[in-house]
A and B are shown apart, each in its own frame.
Chain A
Amino acid sequence: AQKVTQAQTEISVVEKEDVTLDCVYETRDTTYYLFWYKQPPSGELVFLIRRNSFDEQNEISGRYSWNFQKSTSSFNFTITASQVVDSAVYFCALIITAGYSTLTFGKGTMLLVSP
C-alpha cells in the first residue's frame, strides 16, 4: 500500500518569505508519479506538478520549485517570495503505474501568508 505523509499541518509566513512544504512518501513500487495540488478556499484542487520516479531532476517554475530525492523518499515544494494569493492547502499525492491508477493523498499543509 502507498502512503504520503505531510508532517506540517499548518505554516504561517509573512509575505515575501520563502517557505518549504515537506512531503514524504512510501511505496514498494519502483515506477510511480508524484504530484502537488493546491486547494484554495474555493475548494477546487489545482494541479501544480507531476514528477516521474525515474526523473530526480529538480524543477523550477516561476516562484515554485520542487526537490525530489528518492534516497529519502521526499518530494518537497518551495515557494520563493511568498504572496498572499499563495494561501491555500497544499496536497502531495502519489500514484503507482501498476494496477489501477488512483491517487493517494497526504493530509495536506495549510499555508497562511499574511501581508
Chain B
Amino acid sequence: DTGVSQDPRHKITKRGQNVTFRCDPISEHNRLYWYRQTLGQGPEFLTYFQNEAQLEKSRLLSDRFSAERPKGSFSTLEIQRTEQGDSAMYLCASSLNSNSYEQYFGPGTRLTVT
C-alpha cells in the first residue's frame, strides 16, 4: 500500500498527558499537511510542510501543538498537556509538490481525551 499512513489510528489519553502522532506521506510527495476534524465539521487546516520546512501554521495550532518533519519524509504532531477540547480526528495529507493541488489523505488518528 503506497498511500498516506498514520499511526496510531486511535489514541485515548487522560487530560494533561502528552501525545504524539506520526504520518508517513506518499513516497516522493514533497508537501505534507495536518488537519483536524471534529464531529460534524469539515477538516480544518493546522499546518503544512514543504520538505522539512514548516511553511504555514494556523491560528488553531496553539503553543501546546508542535509539528516536525525532520528529514522531509515522515512527520510527527505532538500535543502537550492535552485538554478535552483536543479530542478530534487528526488527518494527514500529502501532495506531490507546490504545483499539485490534489491532496491525498491518510486514515486519520482519532484522539479521545478523558
Specify which of B43, B48, B98, B104 lies most central, judged by the most chain A CB atoms within 10 Å of its CB.
B43
A-B contact count (CB 8 A): 57
Q: Are A43's CB and B43's CB within 8 A?
A: no
Residues of B within 8 A of A (CB-CB), count: 26
Q: Are B89's CB and A105's CB within 8 A?
A: no
Q: Which residues of B contact A102 (CB under 8 A)?
A: 33, 45, 48, 56
Residues of A within 8 A of B (CB-CB), count: 24
**With an 8 A cutoff between CB atoms, is B40 at the interface?**
yes
Main SS of chain B's interface residues?
Answer: strand
Q: Which stretch in B16-24, B73-81, B106-114 binds the other chain?
A: B106-114
Chain B residue with Cβ nearest A96: B101
Q: Which residues of B contact A43 (CB under 8 A)?
A: 89, 107-108, 110
